Amino acid sequence: MRLETVLSGIPLTRSALSKEYWQNDNSEHNLLKYMGGMGPYVQGHGYGLEYDENAFDVEQVFIFARHGERYPTTSLNNDLRKTFDKLKGAQVDNYVGPMSFVKDWTYFVEDDSLLEQETNTSCFSGLQDMYNFGAEIRRKYGNLIDDEATVPLFASGSKRVCDSATAFGKGFGKGFDNDQNQYKLIILPEKRSQGANTLTSGRSCKPYHKKQGYTQKYIAKTLVEESKRLNRESPGFNITSEDVTNLIRYCAFELNAKGSSEVCNALSMDAFIEHEYMRDTELYYTKANHPLTFTLGSVYVNATLQLLSENPAEHQNQRVWVSFSHDTDLLYFLNAIGILENQQTALPTDSVAFARFFRTSELVPMGARIVIEQLVDKTNGEKIVRILVNDAVIPLQNCQDGPLFTCRLSTLRHVFYEKLRKNGSFSKRCEVKSGRPEYLSFYWDWVDGKY
């Protein structure tokens, strides 16, 4: 598939913005906002914060991204196929109502070799998404990059992650005179033997058990009512709440693969809303707010703060750092850097917390990206940090001592390292075996290939 550049029209600076006003807002009805992190990329909800390019210079940028839109995993595909086969095999007298499409329904995964890999044939192509992302980063931060420099792109060892990084690199390099050598892919194995020198820290942490602290799951109510509605309006399928769950997930992944889905149209928005909350509570307790989450994310944040604190001249004037991994690792990072402190109360499991900050579709959709900008105040040279999550500026709840609701780099370092002191090191809490790396070093070692 040929990858073409599609640049977003998002205003980047205060000077580029004109004030607008309107009385309608349809974002609450955007289905992509309720995909539970399984569906296509969607921009996050920001707070209207602006950036004054006349007052600040961007000095360095650190990017941590999830792979692009993909096909389902093998295990999830088995669940989706089970419901598909059940509905296709049902003895139905008349195909009517929301499920009438089943009569001519075909399964969206054409070949099992596609499972777990990036999509590349729809308007929500994972590879196209990453290509566009790379082009956007080049457009936005190209002034930080020497045309003759080779920018390292760090990726965990999963094929879909490496493919995403490669597509990003192609978009990123396009437009440079030396675009063929503009980037170099650095692959970090997803193995426990990597210790702390990894982009998948959960695999290196022996004591990490996902279910710890997640004793009470959210029990679906609306999904049960949804199954009753579908059976009433499209009789003969004997649809269960488990089938509804699979249909919602089918919808998300079919959008990734094909760009449209009749399954999506058959289901109510209420069902999507409850399903996302089920996903949110599961990921909140098993990934984002697990007792070891800060420790898992501290590996990445510690390295990030070190890079932002060092002189780029020590790194061949490298000012743009880009890494790719999985949604779970982005959640670890968001916890450790303090973004998830915007979720100030634990998520209840007996009702839906509609006013919550923690929404997987907002934080870790397919193609999610965290951008850390180190800004320098032109008046006094002070370094501050601005964080964008899926293109939306998200202030830190407990560090807004910089201008425009930013955080001073010195304050962020103090807050983080005080937490690290109280929590303990990754190597200690995760019981890293003697002889395995105790720190993340590949950002410094990649030139020599000692990672």
Q: Could you tell me the pLDDT band of residue 52, with boundaries at 50, 70 and 90?
A: confident
What pLDDT sits at residue 64? 99
> Alpha-carbon distance 388 to 363, whole Å?
10
In tens, the pLDDT along 272-323 reads: 999 999 999 999 999 999 999 999 999 999 999 999 999 999 998 999 999 9
**What is 29-70+123-205+278-430's CATH number?**
3.40.50.1240
Coil, strand or helix: which one is 283?
helix
> Alpha-carbon distance 75 to 415, whole Å?
40
Closest CA to 202 of 280, 284, 292: 292
On the question of pLDDT at 7 being above 90, the answer is no
What pLDDT sits at residue 293? 97
What pLDDT sits at residue 148? 81
Q: How many CB atoms lie within 10 A of CB 123?
A: 11
Kindly name the residue from 129, 163, 243, 327 that is annotated as catalytic: 327
On the question of pLDDT at 373 being above 70, the answer is yes
Higher pLDDT, 316 or 76: 76
Instruction: Note the Cα 185 to chain centre separation in Å.
Output: 20
What pLDDT sits at residue 326? 98
On the question of pLDDT at 10 being above 90, the answer is no
Give the Å distances, CA to CA, from 61 to 371, 414, 440.
7, 20, 18
Residue 67 bears catalytic tag: yes
In tens, the pLDDT along 118-167 reads: 999 899 999 999 999 999 999 999 999 988 888 999 999 999 999 999 99
In tens, the pLDDT along 423-449 reads: 999 999 999 999 999 999 999 999 887
Region 255-281 average pLDDT:
98
Region 171-193 average pLDDT:
82
> Alpha-carbon distance 305 to 437, whole Å?
19
Report yes or no: 171 and 138 within 8 Å, Cβ to Cβ.
yes
In tens, the pLDDT along 337-366 reads: 999 999 999 999 999 999 999 999 999 999
In tens, the pLDDT along 376-428 reads: 999 999 999 999 999 999 999 999 999 999 999 999 999 999 999 999 999 99
User: Where do the structural domains in the chain lie, given as residue ranges?
Assistant: 29-70+123-205+278-430
Higher pLDDT, 8 or 76: 76
Alpha helix ranges (H) inside 198-292: 222-233, 241-258, 262-266, 269-283
What pLDDT sits at residue 159? 98
On the question of pLDDT at 110 being above 70, the answer is yes
Report yes or no: 411 and 395 within 8 Å, Cβ to Cβ.
no
Residue 79 bears catalytic tag: no
Kindly name the residue from 67, 275, 290, 326 that is annotated as catalytic: 67
Higher pLDDT, 450 or 80: 80
Closest CA to 12 of 392, 399, 402: 392
On the question of pLDDT at 2 being above 70, the answer is no
Q: What's the whole-number average pLDDT of the chain?
A: 93
In tens, the pLDDT along 16-41 reads: 556 788 888 888 999 999 999 999 99
Encoding tokens for residue 440? 């993340």
On the question of pLDDT at 211 being above 70, the answer is no
> What is the percentage of the chain residues whose pLDDT exceeds 70?
93
> Alpha-carbon distance 376 to 106, whole Å?
55
